Amino acid sequence: TAPTGEVEEDETQAKALNYVRKASDAKDNPKYKEGNTCNNCMFFEPTKNNGCTLFAGRRVEQGGWCAAWNPKPA
Ligand code: SF4
């Protein structure tokens, strides 16, 4: 069965996307840029319990990050 609840770092999809609950833990990832967090990612849904579209709407840390980060449209 698919995992539910808050996304954990050791889940298959989270590992595939290098998700970390604390963005600074991604500092060695070449895709990571300081200041990029779930909070300013286009896939973050703050009005839906801090869910992430890419994780089926499950909750992520607003200060987290993953390799699918893309900026919110201005
Ligand atoms: Fe966070 Fe965006 Fe990755 Fe979702 S896609 S986990 S909101 S960085």
Q: What is the ipTM of this complex?
A: 0.99
Beta-carbon neighbour count of residue 38 at 10 Å? 26
Quick one: pLDDT at residue 3?
85
Quick one: pLDDT at residue 1?
77
Residue 63 has pLDDT above 90, yes or no: yes
User: Quick one: what percent of the chain has pLDDT higher than 90?
Assistant: 92
Distance (angstroms) between ligand 1 centre and the Cα of 41 equals 6
Arithmetic mean of pLDDT over the chain: 96
Q: Which of 19, 11, 15, 12 is nearest to 44 (CA)?
A: 19
| Smallest CA separation from ligand 1 atom 4, residue | 52
| Smallest CA separation from ligand 1 atom 6, residue | 66
pTM above 0.90, yes or no: yes
